[in-house]
Structure 1
Amino acid sequence: MEKEKSTGDFRYAVGAAKVPWHAVGEFYRAGDVLEVVKFLLPPGGDEAAWRQRLAAVESALQALSGEAATATKLTLGQQVQAAEAEARNYFDCRYACLLSNWTAGMEIAYKLSGLQAGDEVIMPAVTFIATMAYPLSIGAKIVFADIDPETINLDPADVARKITPKTRMIVPVHLGGYPVDMAPLMELAAEHGIYVMEDAAHGMGGAYRGRKLGAIGHFGGFSLHEVKNINSFGEGGLLLTNLDCGEQFAQARFLGLDFTRKIKDWLYDISPLTDRFGKLQIPGNHSASELQALGLRLQMKRLDAIIAMRRQAAEYMNGVLSEEPGILVEKTDTADTYGTHHLYLLRIDPKKVNGDIQTLSAKLAAAGLTNITHFGPMYRFRIMKQLGYDENAIAATCPRTEEMFYHSYTHLPLYPLTPEQLRYQAQAVVEAVRDMKRGR
């Protein structure tokens, strides 16, 4: 009699069966894998040579498929578990959760923090919309704090001025990968009983006073979107915490499915989340795929090397630009700060260069340089006006945001630039500033 085969890695543990019920409804074949290879490794300079090599790959894949089994688990399996274990080790934290994206990670952190309608969340006036998406969706109030003009990061002194009895969370954003000054924020949080969530979307691999970014606050995490220093095949997020509530991460990620409990004649129970105040929160569905996890694991192996290359590029930019009066180069790493150099922060003194950043940005664009000021002041968006926020009143409380965004800074790319591209970029900035000084 033929030996009974295992059902594979189906989500539900149904045991061995003569007729297996695989987790994967339709397996991927050699031809599908070939299309993935073509997508990830498109033609370069010599298309004819590429096609010749591709034919050899196709032949090898077909031969391999004759000897291979099929992947029987594509989501929330061993790769996800391994990625999370490696993240816990790398960031020296108790809990790590791989998710569909970082916006989902922030949603879970907000829920476990007990954020409710009417509560206040303090965050920088300059960040991406994802930072405030969940609080707005439940009717919490966003309080915008001003920025540090040297880093465009959250200014702890302004945070202190804007704390009220309704403040529940502070959300520092490590913009461009440069660490926020976390010590005074953590002191404020302890004094007022507030949680801190690090939005370290740009900060994977950075550190502050010897601790990895994302593992300093009560919660923290990273975007693994395609534009970041590393990604998980285009999308993904990683949420960290050292709090006991991290035990709920798996349920928070996948609709509260609780395999430690079962209802009558069924495979599992559904449990709500319990926030810091003991109140119930409803979990969502933010599952990560096995390929996302594999992509993260592969790129995390070279994360430190990637940051080192970006740092080298930033140091080169600083060296060239610092020679031209009126250009303010980005802050370098110190004994306390270790940035990821996701973006290069280019600042100018409008008085010394005879013009502002809008003029410089146009000149750089004309020279073929992509430059993007990250990000538009949050209070200027239409959604905020429609929700009753007074953009001009808020702008008056964030004067450095107004001055810096509209007049003084933009961002440039770093690695992976070729040495020629890097030299061209640095010199183009210098030449554009010199043109401005001449009134051109």
Structure 2
Amino acid sequence: MFENLTDKFDRAFKVLKGHGQITEINVAETLKEVRRALLDADVNFKTAKDFTNTVKEKAIGQNVLTTISPGQLLTKICHEELTNLMGGEQEDVNYKGSPGIILMSGLQGSGKTTFSGKLANWLKNKQRKNPLLVACDVYRPAAIDQLHVLGEQLGVEVYSNREEKNPVKIAEAAIVYAKSNGFNVVIIDTAGRLAIDTQMMDEIAAVKKAINPTETLFVVDSMTGQDAVNTAKAFDEKIDFNGVVLTKLDGDTRGGAALSIKTVVNKPIKFVGTGEKMDALDVFYPKRMADRILGMGDVVSLVEKAQEQFDEKEAKKLQKKIAQNKFDFDDFYAQLQQIKKMGNVKDLMGMIPGVGKAMKDVDIDDDAFKGIEAIIQSMTAKERAEPSLLNGSRKNRIAKGSGSSIQDVNKLIKQFSETKKVMHLMSNKKNMANMMRQMKGMRGGGLPGM
């Protein structure tokens, strides 16, 4: 996500490295690189020009404090302006009503039907709502089938009528059905359109007029860059949508749509799709996205993802086992499963400040834990509970059973033992305080080799 843009911003700020102050000459050189980075990311030309002009005005003449460098100061200003460029504050989707009605619009192939499923899943699991999915694509039978498959997978009911060819009538009947059957949010998936198709655009405008939705969302493929922004403008002029959804942000996207759309259309981005799975949906926070673009990580989102998988009762049991130095391979395996539920491992690591840049050339497979899991699953229940039992013959059996080498088994056992020691040490407040004192006493204030 925005990997190339992050690299280019990083290179641009290096122009200021070694300078004691920000001058018109050195800031002009840096912002020339910033503008080029934005244009390469397929950001609207006027947007890129206005952005760099604003940054320049704010930067020139500012005194650089002794505690920060000119590069850090310009990074701060760029961060503020990137946040403003993408909308400033996060804006909620309006699903309140009796029922709340969310109308989907978008181009063919933008991921609209998939997003409808993701939104239903988000409303059901995170907002504790009872959503109804409605199939209003009367032109593509596969879209109705796709929505039914998604609904079955998510445990969400889908309303459809294959005999009716008028999407307005289907939508109106679905809302009546929702009111009489206790559904509090209705998600209406419409046919994909081409911006130039007047008949199709008139049709969705008629659906909107008939049902008066609480929220109209425009779903767009972020990989289409500047074309996405132009299409959004055409749609907005016709149906006046409330917000934008950027799908496929995990693909080879340059980021131009995310950075341009708010300025050009003056409508906020409300959600971003970050993968194919039904839980790969994030609420859009401009500040957090600016953090990621500038390589600052996104700790808040990482913590939120962790909290979603957090079980307080289980955590207390685990804490007690760690304090008693009884943490075993079963606990270790359970923790791996929780991490996997949080999402793509490389994306999660990229949320840690500084790690994203270090990991950019490292290919981490979604099945990164498969080898570790196989080794643990090849152990007996007694071996998982008492790792000290793992002698040479047992390790050989585990290696054969998991399809790995004896070196892999030894490496995992060593890593597990070291992790267990550190966790036990950190569970004791007195030990933790001693560690902190030792770290402060070391030259440079950090652990060697870190």
TM-score, normalisation: structure 1: 0.28
TM-score, normalisation: structure 2: 0.28
Question: Counting helix residues as a fraction of each chain, which structure ranks higher?
Answer: 2
Whose Rg is larger?
Answer: 2
